[in-house]
Amino acid sequence: MPWQEVSTVWLRQEFITMVQQKTVSVSELCRRYGVSRKTGYKWLGRYEREGPAGLPNRSRRPHQYPRRPPAALEAALVALRHKHPAWGARKLRRRLQTLGEAPVPACQRSCNIPYLWSLKIPYPPTTEGGEKMGKLTYNCASLPEQTAHREVTMVGEEQWEEIHRLFTVEKWSKSAVARELNVDVKTVRRCLRRAAWVPYQRAPRPETRLTAHAELVHRRAPEVGYSARILFQELVHQHGYTGSYETVKRFVRPLRDAQTLAERAAVRFETPPGLQSQIDWGQAAIPFRAGRAVRHIFVLTLGFSRRGFYLACGDEQLHTFLDAHEQAFDYFGGHTREHLYDRPRTVCRPTGEGGVAWNATFKSFAQYWGFEPRLCRAYRARTKGKVESGVKYVKGNFLPGRTFHDDRHLAEELLGWMTTIADQRIHGTTHERPIDRFARERDHLVPTREQPAFRLEATYPRVVADDFLVSLDTNRYSVPFRLIGRTVQVQRQAGRVTIRHQGAVVAEHEELLGHHQMRLLPEHGPGAIARNPRQSRLRQVDRPWRTWADDIPVEVRDLAVYDAWAAQAGGVS
């Protein structure tokens, strides 16, 4: 099979074509072609600005030379170089002095002249037929540009085979092979001496005084936090180590670097359709007509499709947090079976033993809608990297360059951006549009269309205050006073507020439509005597109350009797 001749420009053109097809990410293509991401994006930029003309190699020669000699002196020096290519800097300088050129540069300044060292040709050039050319008459502008060095630092298997093919089959000289492949001629000789390609292997480390303690250092290093100082102290005082501290430090450094990379390494966690969503908040200063104002952006991202819901809110309080969830459920037509959070106080609070205590209202919200809340690891926010990317995306793609009239205008623009931009883009990880992947995830969501809002049907746990009142939406309702300090469940349904304790209904009220109002039923209180501030001990609700009978006989006297008693008492005195 004949060899397919390919050039550097052809490979770069193939790279550009594959990028434009958007079937493989730029990072993956750079790995395939053995170049860095910076080099890959450099080729893309040149192609976008100049087309195919921007793909060939370019000279690395500087555009300016701060210490460049005058043009006349430079022309004379280049002419001498053409005539005597083997002369060095000192001989060229003496020749210029003989010719009367002034000022004559120093020997080391001759390297500041363009093309000067590229003109050092040991043998006269030849024509295509092999005949030597006559006197050089070309000028500097016609000289070929120097070829840029390759980015590789060692000979791979393919390049090794190409060296053997050019030398053995094509009968090229070693120097010609070196020039063609842009490697040193000594590298070509070394490759030809080997019958088979051998991958590069690092030379083994020489034996040191620490070699006998290597196993101990490997075992002990993680326990002391890879501290070379502690290891050195223990080796000297406990194990008779006689080497230097620098030897221990050089030995520990790769162990520490490996551990650091292991901690940084993140395994991408993909979830099936309808399993998990990730929720987070982001803050941004929004430019309104009246000035900048801080808004809190609620972000909910579906784990499989990467489709996101974004809502700008005035705060991050619990009622706002729950209302944003319900708007997201309406937007998607359902919700996933799990929701992942980053331990906000509206979801949970830490306990003294390293655990968490769920927010009672949020737990009721989760039970009402039928999803399981999950928490990220503490101080490891990248566990929910999908929604973290969503927060950065809305800040970097939606907000820049926009100004809004008010919050309503902001909400309208944000909704339009979600449907026309965020849902239609090619996602960098899935390489698909989120709206297309959502079509496969929609049927796996838990439907919520027919379920009323949580605030209309939810049960709220409340602790009865000392005034035997419980609050709901800033309004307060009474319960029997014997429940002071107990936890009751308050539910609003069909215009009535029902209060239960241990499953039994203890109070019912008509729902108050306003705010900061109170509904107090007389039968719920202990009576007027219990409200007397001097009867503080009567506030113990479990104390039995004495009942008074209405049929106790009472003596009836005439008021004259009391007048007689008063006159008698006055006479005695």
Shared domain check, 242 and 170:
no
Look at residues 220, 240, 262 and tell me which one is the last residue of a structural domain: 262
**Do 323 and 438 share a structural domain?**
yes
Domain that holds residue 521: 458-539
The neighbouring-strand residues paired with 447 are 334
- Looking at the fold, whether 420 and 306 belong to one and the same domain comes out as yes
State whether the Cα torsion 289-291-293-299 is positive or negative. Answer: positive
312 and 403 housed in the same domain: yes
Question: Do 338 and 415 fall within a single domain?
Answer: yes
| Bridge-based pairing state of the strands 348-350 and 356-358 | antiparallel
The pLDDT value recorded for residue 491 is 85
From 447, 477, 505, give the residue that closes a domain. 447
Q: Structurally, how many domains does the chain consist of?
A: 6
DSSP readout, 307-371? -EEEEEES---HHHHHHHHHHHHHHHTEE-SEEEE---TTTEEE-TTS-EEE-HHHHHHHHHHT-
Q: What are phi and psi of 498, to 5 degrees?
A: -110, 130
Q: What is the CA radius of gyration of the chain?
A: 43
Look at residue 556 and tell me if it is in a domain. Answer: no
Alpha carbon 235 to chain centroid, angstroms: 41
Residues 304 and 354 in one domain: yes
The reply to whether 302 and 353 lie within a common domain is yes
472, 531: one domain: yes
Tell whether 342 and 245 lie within a shared domain.
no
Q: What is the structure's pLDDT at 454?
A: 78
Q: What is the mean pLDDT of each run of 10 residues along the chain (573 residues)?
A: 63 86 84 87 89 83 73 82 80 81 59 49 43 39 39 72 90 90 89 86 78 91 92 92 91 90 71 92 92 94 94 90 92 93 89 83 90 83 80 92 91 94 91 94 89 75 90 89 91 84 91 86 73 45 48 67 73 47
> Considering the domain boundaries, does residue 496 fall inside one?
yes
Asked if 416 and 299 sit in the same domain, the reply is yes
Q: 413 and 389, same structural domain?
A: yes
Domain identity same for 163 and 183: yes
| Residue 88 three-state SS | coil
Residue the block writes with tokens 């050319």? 133
Contacts with 188 (C-beta within 8 Å, 6 or more apart), sequence order: 163, 167, 174, 177, 178, 181
Would you say the pTM of this structure is higher than 0.75? no
pLDDT at 147: 40
